[in-house]
Amino acid sequence: MKLKGIPDKGIRRLVQAVAGTDLDAELTEVIEKAQQRGLGVFGLRKHHEVVSVGEDLPVSYNTPDDLEPEKLNGTCCIILHSYDGWDVEGIENDLEKLTQYSNDGSTILVGGTRGEDGWDPGEVIIVNAEVVYVF
């Protein structure tokens, strides 16, 4: 798998999950525990502030050209397409999309109670979003 121009250590660690390393098992366990607590939607996000596991995330804003920012119902993320065993193509696409939006901040795994379609391809707005893993 080639991921061009992705210097972030967290993303490299996430890519290792695809290869079936210990991180793969760790993330699968994290997601399963989150599901038991009622979280059903998961996504990846580059977050500009330092966050901790369990921390609630603020809602995001949509800022259309020349208009006032619009408060959304949740936190914008790139939807994680496969978490029941890692899908190489799916995770590669998710990571590529993530780096198109930002290379700043920490890479985090976000979980929430439900998701809404975002404006961009692959984007999900996660409602009641919380940090479930920090890379």
Residue 133: both structure tokens together: 């893993």
Number of domains in the chain: 1
- Domain of 84? 9-134
- For residue 53, what pLDDT is reported? 95
pTM of the shown model: 0.74
Going by C-beta distance under 8 Å and a sequence separation of 6 or more, which residues neighbour residue 109?
Answer: 27, 30, 31, 42, 43, 44, 80, 131, 132, 133, 134, 135
In a domain, 1, yes or no: no
- For residue 7, what pLDDT is reported? 39
- For residue 23, what pLDDT is reported? 58
In a domain, 74, yes or no: yes
In a domain, 4, yes or no: no
In a domain, 19, yes or no: yes
In a domain, 27, yes or no: yes
Q: Which neighbouring-strand residues pair with 115? A: 126
pLDDT of the chain along its 135 residues, tens only?
Answer: 333 333 344 445 555 544 455 556 777 788 888 989 999 888 888 888 889 999 999 999 987 777 788 899 999 998 876 554 444 455 556 666 666 666 677 788 899 999 999 888 778 999 999 999 887
- For residue 73, what pLDDT is reported? 94
In a domain, 106, yes or no: yes
In a domain, 2, yes or no: no
In a domain, 15, yes or no: yes
